[in-house]
Structures are given as C-alpha cells and as structure tokens.
Amino acid sequence: MLKKWLLMLMSIVLFSVIGTGCAGSNEAKKEEGKIIVTTTIGQIADIVKNVGGEHVEVTALMGPGVDPHLYQASQGDIQKLSNADMIFYNGLHLEGKMGEIFEKMGKDKPTVAVAEAIPAEKLLKSADDANAYDPHVWFDIDLWSIAVETVRDELSKFDPKHEEDYKKNAETYLQRLQEVKAYAEEQIAQIPEESRVLITAHDAFGYFGHAYGIEVMGLQGLSTDSEYGLKDVQSLVETIVSRNIKAVFIESSISEKSIKAVVEGAKKRGHTVNIGGELFSDAMGEEGTEEGTYIGMYKHNIDTIVSALK
Ligand SMILES: [Zn+2]
C-alpha cells in the first residue's frame, strides 16, 4: 500500500518537474492556443501583455536591474527565443550584442524591432555617431505609442482571428499612456524652469528631456559600452557647481559608482549636490510591483525627478 502511494507521489513530482520545464510549459501554452512571445526589455513585454491580453504568453529576457547595452544572450535565452512564436525587441542597437541572434531568428518567425518602426525623422540622433539614433525611445510617450501600434498590427497579422481584441486592448492602453503623459506635463510644470536639468549616469533620458523641455546630461554616452573618464566627471562637476544644481540621479541598471564620483567632486568644490533618488532607465522594477509596469516606472521617475528638483 505504502509502496503504491510512494510510486504515485513520485510520478506526480516527476510530471510536475517536466511540466514546469521551459519547453514543456511553452508546449502546454501552445496547446491552449496562446501565442508564445519573447521580448528583450520589460517595457516591450508590458506592451505585448497589455495588447495581447489572454491570447499571449510573454517572457522578457532582461529583468530588473539588467543593462541591455551589455546584455549577452545565455543558452537559456536562445532556447526561449527559439521556442517563441514571435519576438519583439527594441532595436536601434539598444541590444548591442544580440544583432546576429535577431537576424537568425528573423528567418523563422516574426522578429520585430519596435523602435525601428518609428519614422526616422522623429528619432533623436546620437551625439557620438552621426549614423546612429538614440535607442531610448520609450521615454517619449508619443513615440512609444507607435511601438504599441506596431505590436498591435504584428499580433493582428500573426493571429487575424483576434484582431478585434488587439485593437480594443491597444486603444485602452494608448489612452492610459496619454493620461500618464498629461500627468507628467502637469508635474514637471512645478519645477522652476532654471532647475530643469536632469543628470544621470548615462544618456538614457534624451527623449524624456526632449518631450518635456528638460536639459539632460549623462556621464556616459547613449550606450554604457563607452567608458567614462576623470574628464567627464570634472566637466559634469563644473556644470553642477556653476549652475547651482541641487540633485543628480542614479539608475537602477547602472552602478552608482559613477554618480557618486560626481557628488564627491562637487563636495570638494564646496557644493552640495544630493542624490535625488533612483530612476528606472533601461530596466523596469521588480515584477509584481507598481514599478514593474511601464506606467508604474514612468510615474515613479516623474515623482522622483519632480520632488528632487522642484
Ligand atoms: Zn541605455
């Protein structure tokens, strides 16, 4: 009797182990008729979740605190990309080390760079490279709305049976994004004009500054791939002291070391500059928290910036 019971227990355990395996669960979802989608950054996964709703099963490769510029796909990631029905990534070289993988995956399945669907004349040029664009488009809500429309259209093309649902979901999500934009404009209006300077570890906030009339400075360039030197620290310190800037910001996906060097540098010059808080730039917050959603992280950034600079 006991033996029989043990055997049953063992087979249950074994079955659930197989069932929760990566490929196994994807297969199960496929049987449920869900579209398996793999994305790079969480901001894109958030679009797919909202627009795809019950028809999709979404996995983001890059979780909280992960820097997409330096990210290298693991064997497990390749598996997730291979198992997917569709892949959405940012493009414009945000995922600088993954270009070849996307090219390869694109031969078998829809592999869509959502930021590259935005008309080039709306993009900001890179300061360091005349042929490149700033990839951090999610900080301009109007541009990010084009990414939402791209996801809507690609899902509809892949799964025309549910086109109406994708349209309806996208409309709701786009409406919510416009509300966030209105909130941002209203909040930023509280910052005195001369204090509208945003200093962070790397140049992730160019579109943000462009959208809301805030001057943006980063210690590192558009990609964290570039090194920063003593000279960059000194020139930023010079700006902070001469313009009497009160706060600088750290980013969740980048070491605090560089910004702390700037704070120290200002201190030596007799100027106190505070760390205004942590911003979500290239990665969102923990899943299951407010900041683990695009809208939540955007509002967190607005509130943090406004309370430190106003
Ligand atoms: Zn970045």
- The CATH number of residue 304's host domain is 3.40.50.1980
Same domain, 176 and 212: no
Same domain, 65 and 91: yes
Please state the domain count of the chain.
2
Among candidates 153, 151, 149, 154, which has minimal Cα distance to 174? 149
Asked whether residue 127 carries a pLDDT value surpassing 90, the answer given is no
| Residues having C-beta closer than 5 Å to ion ligand 1 | 204, 282
Distance 270 CA to ligand 1 centre (A): 31
Same domain, 32 and 137: yes
More confident of the two residues 26 and 116: 116
Instruction: Please say which residue of 180, 204, 233 terminates a domain.
Output: 180
Q: What percent of the chain has pLDDT over 70?
A: 90
Distance 224 CA to ligand 1 centre (A): 6
Distance 254 CA to ligand 1 centre (A): 9
pLDDT of res. 129: 82
Same domain, 218 and 243: yes
Asked whether residue 20 carries a pLDDT value surpassing 50, the answer given is no
pLDDT of res. 23: 47
Same domain, 259 and 286: yes
Asked whether residue 159 carries a pLDDT value surpassing 90, the answer given is yes
pLDDT of res. 30: 62
128 inside domain? yes
289 inside domain? yes
Instruction: Please say which residue of 180, 210, 239 terminates a domain.
Output: 180
* Helix (H/G/I), strand (E/B), else coil: 220: strand
Q: Looking at residue 124, what DSSP letter applies? A: P
114 inside domain? yes
* Residue ranges making up the domain that contains 223: 184-309
Same domain, 94 and 200: no
More confident of the two residues 231 and 46: 46
Q: How confident is the model at residue 223 (pLDDT cuts 50, 70, 90)?
A: confident
Lookup result for tokens 């007799």: 270
- Stretch 124-144: mean pLDDT: 93
pLDDT of res. 226: 80
pLDDT of res. 243: 92
Same domain, 102 and 141: yes
Same domain, 153 and 283: no
Residues near 281 by beta carbon (within 8 Å), at least 6 away in sequence:
136, 200, 202, 204, 205, 251, 252, 253, 254
Distance 26 CA to ligand 1 centre (A): 30
Same domain, 144 and 215: no
Same domain, 119 and 254: no
Asked whether residue 301 carries a pLDDT value surpassing 60, the answer given is yes
1 inside domain? no
Among candidates 262, 270, 274, which has minimal Cα distance to 218? 262
Same domain, 201 and 286: yes
- Stretch 158-179: mean pLDDT: 98
Distance 204 CA to ligand 1 centre (A): 5
Distance 199 CA to ligand 1 centre (A): 14
Same domain, 36 and 168: yes
286 inside domain? yes
